[in-house]
Structure 1
Amino acid sequence: MSTAPSAVDLLLEDGSGRRPRADARRNVERLVRAAREVAAEGGGEITAHEIARRAGVGVGTFYRRVSTLELLLEAVLAEVLGEIIVRADEGLAHPDPWEGFSAFASSYIRLRNELCDLNHALGGTLDHARAELRDRMSMLVGRAQDAGLMRADITWEDVAFLLVSVSTGGHTVGLRAGELQWDRNLRVILDGLRTPEPAPLPGSPPTAAVLTG
């Protein structure tokens, strides 16, 4: 089973083998959490000033602890990708191929937004790591199909695009997303991949948005 790398450890590693001061580690932990928050929200520019603000530290502390924005984002990108791979390995180890695939899909749709925003901010550096993720997705889909638990007329590439379609925005055609909207979307996708009985939808349906201005 693979282990996700820690962005904090990657940033604090200086080759000396010495333990960093507790306050230094706390500041780096705050910066990593803040960077992930910004990336998870998506749609905006990831800046050192915004990360520092959310972390509750000054910009000077930001650069003293992580040197550059790129180094911070590279470490966080490695951490998020590692978490996705761990979730995939857990899915492959699950005794039920369908439950393993479903659990991975639920984790993936949330982590993917962070991954894509970080990758975009770094100019597409994820290219070299895509093979590892593709292999895991292919194995998860193949395992479920071999067990007769997923329709056989689709490919893992189809599944990759279907999972991307789950993570919609918060509004569309005057509607506001319902509670657990992504979970509802995912349940419909999963039921389309599986036969014969659909599962109950989680959360509530979308509602009309209150328009202002």
Structure 2
Amino acid sequence: MDAPVRFAKVRVMTARLSHPVRSDARYNREHILEAAREVFATDGLGAPMREVARRAGVGPATLYRHFPTKEALATEAFAEQMQACEVIVREGLADPDPWRGFCTVIERICALHARDRGFTAAFTSNFPRALDFAGSRERSLKAVAKLARKAKRTGRLREDFVVDDLVLVLMANGGIRATTPEGRAAASRRFAAIVIRGFAAH
């Protein structure tokens, strides 16, 4: 058999073997992320990695091969929520009425965090080794600070509001407990309304 023909057959066989491996790895990664979102949503970031592996139906070695640390796993699992936060704040900034935009941001961010305890824990911590997550968090908080300055100029927002107040609100909102997701969402809406009244200038 000619060498070019032999090498061609080797390449075909290698491609056939590697494709299922790549598919299995992608399948495992997606299941791990889905399981992580479920586990962190109910148990928070304190949930052990082995519980994520168990829920995903993979071994610990497979989990750590894809995500060496819990920070790496949480960062990717919550990527969509972080993007949603940035969108919420950008839309609040775009509102021609800064106070209305500010109130909308409070309501929508509280609702987003109420759905996932793990995301709240990740957002309110510094996640020092998760640079992408920390960068997105800082962008969101800086945008809130800009929106707050605009809302203060309208005379509707308290002059003593600082961005750390929002972090405190999210931590408190993350402490809401309810027997159903619907009940937690309703309690979060009520809490957001109380917070907004507290932030309003008198």
TM over 0.5: same fold?
yes
Q: Is the 8 A contact 2:45 2:122 kept in 1?
A: no
The Cα shift of 1:154 comes to 2.3
The Cα shift of 1:188 comes to 0.9
3-state SS of the aligned residue for 1:143?
helix
Structure 2: distance between partners of 1:26 and 1:143: 46
The Cα shift of 1:187 comes to 0.8
Amino acid at match of 2:50: H
The Cα shift of 1:118 comes to 3.9
Q: Cα distance 1:75–1:158, how it changes in 2: closer, same or farther (>3 A)? A: closer
Gaps of 5+ in 1: 1-17, 172-176, 197-213
Q: Is the 8 A contact 1:87 1:107 kept in 2?
A: yes
Q: Cα distance 1:67–1:158, how it changes in 2: closer, same or farther (>3 A)? A: closer
**Percentage identity across aligned positions?**
27
Partner of residue 154 from structure 2, selected from 147, 153, 158: 147
Partner of residue 194 from structure 1, selected from 186, 193, 200: 200
Q: Cα distance 1:24–1:95, how it changes in 2: closer, same or farther (>3 A)? A: farther
Structure 2: distance between partners of 1:44 and 1:67: 15
Q: Cα distance 1:26–1:92, how it changes in 2: closer, same or farther (>3 A)? A: farther
1:1-213 pair list within 5 angstroms: 21-43=22-44, 45-64=46-65, 66-70=66-70, 71-76=72-77, 79-109=80-110, 110-111=112-113, 113-118=117-122, 124-125=128-129, 129=135, 131-148=138-155, 150-157=156-163, 159-160=165-166, 161-170=168-177, 180-194=186-200
Q: CA RMSD in A?
A: 3.8
Q: Is the 8 A contact 2:53 2:59 kept in 1?
A: yes
Q: Is the 8 A contact 1:166 1:185 kept in 2?
A: yes
Gaps of 5+ in 2: 1-18
162-171 vs 185-194, which deviates more?
A: 162-171
Q: Deviations over 1:122-163 (max 9, x none)?
A: 964468535423311211212222234x33332223632344
Indicate the structure (1 or 2) with the bigger Cα radius of gyration: 2
Structure 1: distance between partners of 2:125 and 2:175: 21
Structure 2: distance between partners of 1:63 and 1:163: 30
TM-score by length of 1: 0.59
Structure 1: distance between partners of 2:170 and 2:120: 14
Structure 2: distance between partners of 1:120 and 1:134: 11
TM-score by length of 2: 0.62
Higher relative contact order (CA 8 A, sep 6+): 2
Q: Cα distance 1:62–1:56, how it changes in 2: closer, same or farther (>3 A)? A: same
Matched positions, count: 171
